[in-house]
C-alpha cells in the first residue's frame, strides 16, 4: 500500500474520513485529534466510540460525520466492542469466509470513558493481546455531562463536582498517569501526543498501526467549555501543555521509553494554567502554594521521564 507523505500539501488532497458538519463545540480539540489520527492511516479502518462528546455530536439520528465503519458503544465497553470485532475478523479469515486484508481496528474514548468508566474493558483488551489501538482524547473531565471531575482532571482544577471554594480550592488530587499504567500492561506500544504537534502525532499513529498487538495513545484535547478558555486557542494550549511539560510527548515501545519532542525552552507551568478559567482561583492571593505545588509535581515527573528516556537510549541492542 502506498504511504502518503506526511506533508500538508499531500495530506490536504486526501478524502476526509471524519467530515465537517458534526455538532462538536466551536474550537473543540477532539475533532482535530480524530481527523489527524484517521488522516495518518492509509489502511481501511473500523472504529468503536465510547459514549461521550465525540459520540453524541458526530452521529445524530441518520446523520453522521464518520465515513468509515463506526460503532457506538456504551461508556464502559468501547475497548471490548472493538476487541470483539477484531476477534470476529480473525475468526472469519481463519474459516475462509472472507479474504484477509490489512484492516485496522481502533477505539476512541474520552478520559471519563477511558481513565474511569471504561478502564476495566480497556485493561482486559490490552491483556488479551488484541491487534487494536485505543485512542483517548483527554480533555481532563466529564465534559459531556456537565464538567465533572475525572481521574484525568489535574490538581487544582475547578469543576462542578470539585468546585473551587473556601474549604476545597478545586481538585485536591493529582491526575492519574494513564499512559504509564497502560505501558505497565506490557503492551508493545504506548504514547502521548498533542494535536499542536501534528507531525509527531501522525508519526506515532503510523508507527502504532504497523505494530502487531494492542496499542494505546493518550492525546490531549482542549475543551474551551470545561477549561474556560478561548474558542480559538485549542492548538495554542496543546503546544503550551508540551512546552511546560504538563503533557510531555513520549513513547514507550517494548518497554523502552523515548521522549519524542523536547521543549527548546521549558516554560513555567503558569503559562499553561493562566489562559484557563478553571485555574483562575490558583492565582488569587493566598493560593500561591497551589502554583508552587503544581510546578514541583510537573518538574518531578519531567525529571523522572528524562531519566527513563536516557536509560532507554543506553540500553544495549539485542544480538
DSSP letters of 237-248? HHHHHHHTTSS-
Which tens digit of pLDDT belongs to each residue from 207-249?
Answer: 999 999 999 999 999 999 999 999 999 999 999 999 999 999 9
Which tens digit of pLDDT belongs to each residue from 153-181?
Answer: 999 999 999 999 988 999 999 999 999 99
Residues 6+ apart with CB under 8 A from 160: 146, 147, 148
> Which long-range contacts (C-beta less than 8 Å, at least 24 apart) are formed by 180-187?
180/252, 182/122, 182/126, 182/216, 182/218, 183/216, 183/252, 183/255, 185/123, 185/126, 185/127, 185/214, 186/255, 187/126, 187/213, 187/214, 187/215, 187/216
The fold of 8-314 is Rossmann fold (3.40.50)
Question: Per the confidence metrics, is the pTM higher than 0.85?
Answer: yes
Rounded Cα distance between 76 and 116, Å, is 9
Q: What is the pLDDT of residue 319?
A: 40
Rounded Cα distance between 160 and 215, Å, is 33
- Average of pLDDT values for 96-104? 90
- Average of pLDDT values for 260-285? 97
Question: Domain segments of the chain: what residues?
Answer: 8-314
Amino acid at each position: 500500500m502506498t504511504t502518503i507523505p506526511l506533508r500538508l500539501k499531500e495530506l490536504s488532497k486526501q478524502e476526509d474520513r471524519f467530515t465537517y458538519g458534526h455538532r462538536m463545540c466551536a474550537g473543540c480539540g477532539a475533532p482535530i485529534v480524530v481527523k489527524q489520527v484517521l488522516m495518518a492511516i492509509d489502511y481501511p479502518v473500523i472504529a468503536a466510540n465510547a459514549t461521550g462528546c465525540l459520540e453524541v455530536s458526530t452521529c445524530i439520528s441518520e446523520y453522521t460525520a464518520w465515513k468509515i465503519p463506526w460503532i457506538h458503544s456504551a461508556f464502559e465497553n468501547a475497548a471490548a466492542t472493538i476487541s470483539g470485532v477484531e476477534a470476529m475478523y480473525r475468526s472469519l479469515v481463519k474459516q475462509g469466509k472472507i479474504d484477509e486484508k490489512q484492516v485496522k481496528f481502533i477505539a476512541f474514548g474520552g478520559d471519563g470513558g477511558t481513565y474511569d468508566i471504561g478502564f476495566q474493558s480497556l485493561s482486559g483488551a490490552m491483556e488479551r493481546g488484541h491487534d487494536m489501538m485505543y485512542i483517548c482524547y483527554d480533555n481532563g473531565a466529564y465534559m459531556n455531562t456537565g464538567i465533572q471531575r475525572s481521574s484525568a482532571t489535574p490538581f487544582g482544577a475547578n469543576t462542578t463536582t470539585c468546585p473551587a471554594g473556601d474549604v476545597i480550592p478545586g481538585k485536591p488530587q493529582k491526575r492519574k498517569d494513564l499512559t504509564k499504567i497502560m505501558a505497565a500492561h506490557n503492551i508493545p506500544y504506548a504514547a502521548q501526543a498533542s494535536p499542536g504537534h501534528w507531525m509527531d502525532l501522525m508519526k506515532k499513529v503510523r508507527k502504532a498501526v504497523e505494530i502487531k498487538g494492542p496499542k494505546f495513545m493518550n492525546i490531549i484535547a482542549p475543551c474551551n467549555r470545561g477549561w474556560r478558555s478561548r474558542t480559538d486557542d485549542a492548538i495554542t494550549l496543546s503546544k503550551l501543555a508540551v512546552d511546560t511539560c504538563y503533557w510531555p510527548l513520549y513513547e514507550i515501545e517494548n518497554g523502552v521509553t523515548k521522549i519524542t519532542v523536547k521543549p527548546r525552552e521549558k516554560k513555567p507551568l503558569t503559562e499553561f494554567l493562566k489562559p484557563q478559567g478553571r485555574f483562575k482561583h490558583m492565582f488569587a492571593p493566598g493560593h500561591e502554594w497551589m502554583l508552587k505545588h503544581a510546578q514541583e509535581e510537573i518538574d518531578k515527573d519531567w525529571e523522572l521521564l528524562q531519566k527513563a528516556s536516557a536509560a532507554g537510549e543506553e540500553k544495549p541492542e539485542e544480538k
